[in-house]
């Protein structure tokens, strides 16, 4: 869920922007020149994936896939999500410019955590381990994003406590869907294009 | 998918130097995001309307967009009036709406829409490729700008690819429902989109190398600061001062929300 413009307090905005700059700088430094076009096209693909609405109960939710983004891109998830969120801000006005930093951190940071915690498990040849790793990455990254959104709201103003709780609650069903879809996507990628999950190790082109 | 119908304009904002626009929008948006008082936020909304006027956009379309985007704000209106402590004005069941809560929600609504108006006017008058070049000359990291430009270039291509796959699924009678089959179909479909994008990214890079790509795009367009750009910058500076000034008149330190 994106936080809109004008909601957060200035210190939260500035703090988020600072962390976002740090993460993006690290992501860019770890990305070799050869990887730039690949990451760029994958960024576009993730942007498209975020437009996909999956039915859930009487309504539908749109995918975030920040866990999978983290697993595939590692620290490059920061610049990739920064750009995807920038596009959402200027094309659809979801999110915004002053909250771009906070929103990027909220989405990308759990992805990077998933990269460190789960990429070994998700890539493992053991089927069960891979399923568990993928689910934790997919569901955990969405949960992380929900928690960070709630924390940024709460830090801005204590009166946001109730909406922050509601945000967390709304993330619960999305977590499960994202976990399931991430697991299936990983198992598909492992069978069809295993090097995509090992983007870091494989030689450029 | 992406509406770019507003790019062809000859308004003040369309003609302004993109670098000047980027800087002005940046400072104004942060100044508005900082405001604590409703009066100042109203002035901010006025600035947003000025931008809209400067870009000469059709108001009916803008209103439609704003209504959609205000969903998050509507969500906050459900909670904020009842969760902020303060003077109670009315109550529903056991929930007490407070003056402070309603003020806070109003403030957020004003600030949000003020900044959104600026973003819409800015985005509508600045094509992304031009923006990329402007950011290059503002010394943003080259890799980030390449990411921006290349992913922008392939957005619609990949969206078409996704739609083609979805169409293929629909021809085979796929209907999205609440079941594992739907989730599996979407997951396979999206994984396929990722694989194709990955392959495409490799081919694109090979083609770029073949044409002598050395890590940067060269800009044929020369940006020049003209009188009107200085005017825009001056106006922005003035607006920022007025907004922050209005916000601080009579402000008691420590009371502003969020501080």
Residue A98 contacts B where some CB pair is shorter than 8 Å: yes
Structure confidence at residue A163 (pLDDT): 84
Helices (H) and strands (E) in chain B, counts: 10, 2
Contact B108, B18 (CB under 8 A): no
Give dist(CA A83, CA A89) in Å, integer.
10
SS3 A72: helix
CATH code at A10-197: 1.10.1760.20
Per DSSP, what are the bridge partners of residue A53? A62
Give dist(CA B166, CA B160) in Å, integer.
10
Give the start-end residues of each E strand in B11-153.
88-92, 95-98
**A140 CA to chain B: closest CA distance, Å?**
18
| CB-closest option in B3, B76, B111 to A5 | B111
Q: Tell me the residues of chain B between 68 and 87 that have a Cβ less than 8 Å away from chain A.
A: 68-69, 72-73, 75-76, 78-80, 82-85
Query: Which position has the higher pLDDT, A30 or B72?
Result: A30
Structure confidence at residue B66 (pLDDT): 85
| Per-residue tens of pLDDT for chain B, all 259 residues | 455 556 666 777 777 888 888 999 999 999 999 888 888 888 889 888 888 888 888 878 788 888 888 887 888 888 888 877 777 777 777 777 888 888 888 999 999 999 999 888 888 888 888 888 888 888 899 999 999 999 999 999 999 999 999 999 999 999 988 889 999 999 999 999 999 999 998 998 999 999 998 877 777 777 777 888 888 888 888 888 888 888 887 554 554 443 3
| CB-closest option in B116, B154, B257 to A157 | B257
Structure confidence at residue B18 (pLDDT): 86
Q: In this structure, what token pair is assigned to residue B139?
A: 């010394």
Mean pLDDT within A133-158: 93
Phi, psi at B219, each rounded to 5°? -105, 120
What is the ipTM metric for this complex?
Answer: 0.90
Domains of chain B by residue range: 12-133+222-248, 140-210
What pTM, to 2 d.p., does this model score? Answer: 0.91
């Amino acid at each position: 869920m994106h936080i809109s413009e004008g909601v957060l307090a200035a210190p939260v905005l500035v703090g988020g922007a600072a962390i976002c700059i740090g993460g993006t700088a690290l992501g860019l430094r770890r990305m070799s020149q050869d990887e730039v076009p690949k990451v760029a096209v994958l960024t576009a693909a993730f942007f498209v994936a975020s437009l996909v609405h999956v039915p859930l109960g009487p309504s539908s939710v749109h995918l975030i896939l920040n866990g999978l983004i983290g697993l595939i891109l590692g620290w490059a998830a920061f610049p990739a999500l920064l750009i995807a969120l920038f596009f959402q801000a200027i094309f659809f006005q979801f999110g915004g410019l002053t909250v771009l930093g906070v929103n990027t951190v909220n989405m990308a940071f759990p992805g990077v955590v998933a990269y460190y915690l789960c990429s070994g498990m998700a890539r493992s040849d053991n089927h069960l381990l891979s399923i568990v790793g993928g689910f934790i990455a997919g569901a955990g990254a969405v949960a992380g994003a929900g928690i960070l959104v709630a924390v940024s709201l709460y830090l801005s103003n204590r009166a946001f406590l109730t909406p922050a709780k509601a945000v967390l609650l709304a993330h619960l069903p999305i977590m499960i869907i994202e976990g399931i879809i991430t697991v299936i996507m990983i198992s598909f990628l492992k069978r069809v294009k295993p090097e995509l999950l090992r983007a870091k190790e494989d030689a450029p082109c | 998918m992406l509406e770019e119908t507003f790019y062809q304009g000859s308004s003040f904002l369309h003609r302004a130097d993109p670098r000047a626009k980027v800087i002005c929008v940046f400072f104004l948006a942060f100044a508005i995001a900082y405001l604590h008082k409703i009066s100042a936020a109203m002035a901010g909304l006025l600035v947003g309307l000025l931008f809209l006027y400067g870009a000469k956009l059709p108001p009916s379309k803008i209103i439609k967009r704003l209504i959609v985007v205000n969903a998050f704000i509507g969500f906050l209106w459900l909670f904020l009036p009842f969760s902020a402590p303060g003077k109670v004005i009315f109550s529903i069941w056991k929930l007490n709406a407070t003056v402070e809560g309603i003020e806070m929600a109003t403030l957020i609504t004003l600030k949000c829409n003020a900044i959104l108006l600026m973003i819409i006017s800015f985005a509508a008058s600045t094509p992304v490729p031009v923006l990329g070049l402007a950011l290059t000359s503002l010394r943003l990291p080259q890799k980030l700008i390449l990411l921006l430009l290349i992913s922008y270039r392939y957005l619609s291509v990949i969206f078409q690819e996704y739609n083609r796959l979805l169409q293929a699924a629909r021809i085979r009678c796929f209907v999205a429902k609440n079941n594992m089959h739907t989730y599996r179909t979407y997951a396979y479909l999206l994984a396929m989109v990722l694989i194709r994008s990955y392959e495409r990214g490799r081919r694109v890079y090979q083609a770029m190398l073949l044409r002598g790509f050395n890590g940067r795009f060269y800009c044929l367009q020369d940006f020049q600061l003209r009188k009107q750009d200085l005017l825009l910058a001056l106006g922005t500076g003035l607006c920022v001062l007025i907004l922050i000034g209005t916000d601080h008149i009579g402000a008691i330190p420590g009371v502003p929300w969020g501080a």
